[in-house]
Amino acid sequence: MTDKSGRLPFVSIIEIERFAIHDGPGIRTVVFFQGCPLHCPWCSNPESQKRGTRLMHLEKRCVTCKQCINSCPNGLISFRDDKLVFKREACTACKTCARACPREAIRFSGEKAEIPYIMEIIKRDKEYYANSGGGVTFSGGEAFMQHRALTELLTRCKEEGIHTAVETSGQTRLENITEAYPLIDLLLYDIKHANKDVLHKVTGASLDTILANLDYAAGRDPNKIIIRIPVIPGFNFYTEEIASVFELARQRQIKEVHLLPFHTLGKDKYGQLGLSYTFPHNKMLTKEDLFPLQQMGESMGLHIPLNPFRSP
């Protein structure tokens, strides 16, 4: 798939993680796309929300030696109130400051990668996928935000005989789903809430769109779908809310649901990006917290593994 000038699209990505074992079965390579139509306040990868190369300042490492200030060719870094201040909106991501920093306290996140480059990395672990029942997972961000590139990557993976999984919020146009669907072996489909008003208010997502897309996929093969629910205190960490999502799965003959316990491991990244973390909850959930929900789901006839994709 090429654009009008015959070029392949670039893909905005955060990173390519090899030997990933949590986002699908077996040994996998996960390509994290950048850009997401939602804005979940608990998001643990805030650098994946908007496309572009972004400066991340790791204050914990910074010794305020000010070498970055002197290095910036555009004078966009200053020192005020004992703190470094970055004019991020004007940053060209030339990365000179990162090179100058002796403590590796400045990083840049987000890059544009060419499809052959991504494929080259994916292909290097082909035999590991084959022997472990693994493959590739396209995640994000929201992979369907770059549906042309996604479809191209999926096509190439299938040509290589590689198992494909896509992790999606389902927030995309149906035609994107239908186009990619035949190329996908496993859909990891996030459903965060069954109440469309709450969902929309908190995350900006449209439940109608998400369910229409899910209907399409489930109508073809519900066994290709695993529903994933991020379990978030104050949002959906209530028996009835989770039960409603379970019900959505059951109605569509989807058998497996994963509960992803809320964590705050991505919290520091907000500060690093110059953003503020506004989500009020701080206490991470544990597996034990999920036991009652798991039991409920199992009693509804669903399979709810608490260590998904891992051996017991």
Partner 1 sequence: MPKFNVEGIQNVEVSKKFPCEKPPARQLEIMEQYTAMHQSCLDKPKELREIACLGVLYPTLFRNIAPGDLIAGRIDFLPIGFGSVTSEGGVGHYCVFKKLRTFQQQLDDAHKKRVDALYDYWLDHDLKTQFGKDVLTDDTTGMFIDCEFPMIATARLSGMMLDYPKLLSKGIDGLREEIGERSGKDTGNDFYKAALGCLDLFVACASYLQVNAREQMPHSSSKRQQELERIDKGLEKIKAGKPETFHEAMQLIWLYALLSGVINYGRLDDYLGPFLAGDLQAGRLTDEEAYRYVYSLWTMIENRRTTVNGRIVVGGKGRKHPQEADVFLHYAMKVAKNARYTEPQFTLRFDRDTSEEIWDAAFDALGAGATYPTLYNDEVNIPAVAYGMRIDEKAAEQYVPFGCTEFVIQGQSTGTPNICINLLKLLTIYMNRGIDPADGKYKADGVNIKPLGEYQTFEDFYSGYKALLDHYLDLSVRAQYYSYELMNKYVGFLFTSLLTDDCIARGKTLLNGGVRYLGGTNETYGNINTSDSLWSIRDLVFNRRKYTLKQLHEAMLANFSGYEIIRKDCLACDKYGNDLDTADDMANDLYEYVAKGVRERGIAIGMQYFLIVISNNQLNTEWGNHTAASPDGRLSGMYMNPANNPQGGANKSGPTALLNSLRKFNARYHAGSVQNIKFSPAMFNENRPVIKSLFKTYFNRGGCHLMVTVVDKGTLEDAVQHPEKYPDLIVRVSGFSAVFVDLSPNIQEELLSRVLYD
Query: What is the contact surface with partner 1 in residues (CB under 8 A)?
Result: 17-19, 21, 26-27, 99-100, 102, 124-125, 127-128, 131-134, 307, 310-311
Q: Please state the separation of Cα 257 from the chain's center in Å.
A: 17
Please, which residue, 19 or 291, has the CB nearer to partner 1? 19
Please, which residue, 96 or 206, has the CB nearer to partner 1? 96
Q: Using CA atoms, how far apart are residues 231 and 297, in angstroms rounded to an integer?
A: 14
Shortest CB 281 distance to partner 1, Å: 26
Exposed/middle/buried for residue 307 (C-beta within 10 Å: 0-12, 13-18, 19+): exposed
Please, which residue, 109 or 176, has the CB nearer to partner 1? 109
Please, which residue, 98 or 232, has the CB nearer to partner 1? 98
Query: Could you give the 3-state DSSP secondary structure of residue 230?
Result: strand
Q: Please state the separation of Cα 40 from the chain's center in Å.
A: 12
Q: Return the closest-CA partner of residue 45 out of 137, 150, 136, 139.
A: 139
Please, which residue, 130 or 260, has the CB nearer to partner 1? 130
Please, which residue, 25 or 46, has the CB nearer to partner 1? 25
Q: Using CA atoms, how far apart are residues 251 and 211, in angstroms rounded to an integer?
A: 11
Q: Helices (H), strands (E): how many in the chain?
A: 11, 12
Shortest CB 100 distance to partner 1, Å: 7
The sheet with strand 164-168 has its strands ordered as: 111-114, 10-20, 28-33, 135-139, 164-168, 186-190, 225-231, 256-261
